[in-house]
Structure 1
Amino acid sequence: MNRDALLARESFVELGARARARALLDAGSFRELAGPFDGLRSPWLERQGVVPQGDDGVIVAKGTIDGHPAVVLAIEGAFQGGSLGEVGGAKIAGALELAAEDNRQGIPMRAVILFETGGVRLQEANLGLAAIAEIHAGIVDLRRYQPVIGVIAGQVGCFGGMSIAAGLCSALVVTREARLGLNGPAVIEQEAGIAEYDSRDRPFIWSFTGGEQRIATSLADRYVDDDSATIRQVVAELVSSPTPSVPRSARQDAYLERLAGYNPAVQATPETVRTLYAPLVAGDSQ
């Protein structure tokens, strides 16, 4: 990308959740539901000395994307690391359930989920886990009718139970700055030791969980520059595309077959992972 193009683009990563949702929807179609003035804040954070946020860190916006009815669910990574608790999780799950019901009523509602989350909120662990399970069910239900598109841009990434939600999406869009993994780097280091996983080694972390690696190992579908217009264009293409006949989450046998051939006693490298998943990238699991 040349210098003029770099200067002209608007970073999607640097936008907040509400601005990201607005950037994806058609001009003038943005309508926020269960917003900050509706008072849907966590009842648990204040008891533990944490200042709650009026929208609980989740934006629910309805509108259209290239004329298609859509709901955008954006997680605010700047609030509690994008962690999900009872209220924020219920907002996402409820929106997905209503979108599926719209389809049963003849309204072709799509969904886009903007992941920026470390997973469940530790202060609301069980309630958050229950909400994330409902999100998983909501994605699986809705994707039978219309695409559910996930976007991981950065700066927090997507970890924990919400990484499973990302894997359930019809298609997943990532940037170079994105990270995707079930366990976060600090958790792996805590459990396995720094010799196994140094959470302060940023190039090492991105080489395993970054967007480029996730594309190379077929765990994401589209790799895009950090540019709002480009990301909007790609999302618009995906929401108007047919849903995959075999979703990634239904290909578990192919993944398990590859993993069965891996020796966990040998320290993995990014190249090891790419080699391991090469048959999947080639498409032999379809």
Structure 2
Amino acid sequence: MSAADILQRDSLSECGARQRLHKLLDPGSVRELLDPFQRLASPWLEQQGIVAQSDDGVVAARGRLDGHEVVALAIEGAFLGGSLGEVSGAKIAGMLELAADANRDGRPTAALLLLETGGVRLQEANLGLAAIADIHAAIVDLRRYRPVIALSVGPVGCFGGMGIAAGLCSYLLLTREARLGLNGPAVIEQEAGTAEYDASDRPLIWSLSGGEQRHATGLADACCVDDLRAIRLQVQDWLRLGLPPRHRSEHIDYYRARLAQLDAKAQADAGRARLALSLAQGDAIEGGLS
């Protein structure tokens, strides 16, 4: 790709959560719910000397994308690393539950999740865990009716319990700059040492958990350039396609069998990960992932 092409991109990763949401949805269709003027902030952060944010770091809205009704939720990665607590988690779970109710009432409504998050907010640990469990349940409920589409486009990536949430979604899009995982690099290094995972080795980190690698190993459905038009076109395709034949999280036996083949004694690298998990090996269990 030429330098001119890069300069002409309409980057989403450089936008805040609210701006990303407004760019992706159809113009004039966005109706934000529980906006900052509602002053719905975390009651726990001030008690710990942390300045709260009046939307608790999550933008929640209803709108349309390519004419399809959607609930859209964007996590602000710049606020406490996109971490989720009681209020922000409840906003996401509640909106997903509203969408499921709308579908049961005969009003088809999909969901769009813009995930830039490290997972549970440590300052609200148990409350955050409970909220993320509610999000997981709400995704599984809603995805029976209409697609739940997750995007992670920026350098914060998607980790922790929200990494599980991304895996439960109908479709997952990552950019090359994004990352996806359960534990972040610093956590792995802290628990297992630099010999296991050096959090300062950025090429290693992106080679294992970056968007290209996650797509190559079947853990993401698309890897796009960080450009509004390319990302929006992919989301439109998924909305028109509807539900996948089978969700990734339903292929439990497939992934258990592949993980059983891993040699945990050998240092992980991108090649071994692709060999272990890539869907291109031709021996997918249960007929492969559709």
Q: CA contact under 8 A between 1:112 and 1:149: conserved in structure 2?
A: yes
Question: Which deviations, in whole Å up to 9, do the C-alpha atoms of 1:179-231 show, x marking residues without a partner?
Answer: 00000000000000011100011001000000000011000001100011211
Q: CA contact under 8 A between 1:113 and 1:151: conserved in structure 2?
A: yes
Give the superposition deviation at 1:112.
Answer: 0.4
- Against the structure 1 CA distance between its residues 43 and 54, is the aligned structure 2 distance closer, same or farther, given a 3 Å change threshold? same
Rounded to whole Å, the distance in 1 between the matches of 2:258 and 2:92 is 33
What are the within-5 Å matches in structure 2 for residues 119-138 of structure 1?
A: 119-138=119-138
Aligned to 1:110: 110
Local SS of the residue matching 1:77:
coil
Asked if 1:213 corresponds to 2:210, the answer is no
The farther-off stretch of 115-124 and 267-276 is 267-276
Local SS of the residue matching 1:240:
helix
What are the within-5 Å matches in structure 2 for residues 228-267 of structure 1?
A: 228-267=228-267
Q: TM (normalized to structure 1)?
A: 0.97
Rounded to whole Å, the distance in 2 between the matches of 1:132 and 1:153 is 20
Rounded to whole Å, the distance in 2 between the matches of 1:158 and 1:7 is 26
Asked if 1:285 corresponds to 2:271, the answer is no
The farther-off stretch of 235-244 and 68-77 is 235-244
Gaps of 5+ in 1: none
What are the within-5 Å matches in structure 2 for residues 1-286 of structure 1?
A: 1-279=1-279, 282=282, 284-286=287-289
The farther-off stretch of 276-285 and 178-187 is 276-285
* RMSD (CA atoms): 1.1
Local SS of the residue matching 1:150:
strand
Local SS of the residue matching 1:264:
coil
- Against the structure 1 CA distance between its residues 194 and 3, is the aligned structure 2 distance closer, same or farther, given a 3 Å change threshold? closer
Q: CA contact under 8 A between 2:218 and 2:279: conserved in structure 1?
A: no
Question: Which deviations, in whole Å up to 9, do the C-alpha atoms of 1:66-107 show, x marking residues without a partner?
Answer: 111011100000000000000000000000000000000011
Question: Which deviations, in whole Å up to 9, do the C-alpha atoms of 1:122-180 show, x marking residues without a partner?
Answer: 00000000000000000000000000000011120000000000000000001000100
Q: CA contact under 8 A between 1:218 and 1:280: conserved in structure 2?
A: no
Local SS of the residue matching 2:278:
helix
- Against the structure 1 CA distance between its residues 281 and 51, is the aligned structure 2 distance closer, same or farther, given a 3 Å change threshold? farther
Q: CA contact under 8 A between 1:147 and 1:241: conserved in structure 2?
A: no
What amino acid is aligned across from residue 261 of structure 1 in structure 2?
Q
Q: CA contact under 8 A between 1:217 and 1:281: conserved in structure 2?
A: no
Rounded to whole Å, the distance in 1 between the matches of 2:57 and 2:280 is 36
Give the superposition deviation at 1:280.
Answer: 6.3
Share of identical aligned residues, percent? 60
Q: TM (normalized to structure 2)?
A: 0.96
Rounded to whole Å, the distance in 1 between the matches of 2:247 and 2:279 is 17
Rounded to whole Å, the distance in 2 between the matches of 1:195 and 1:277 is 23
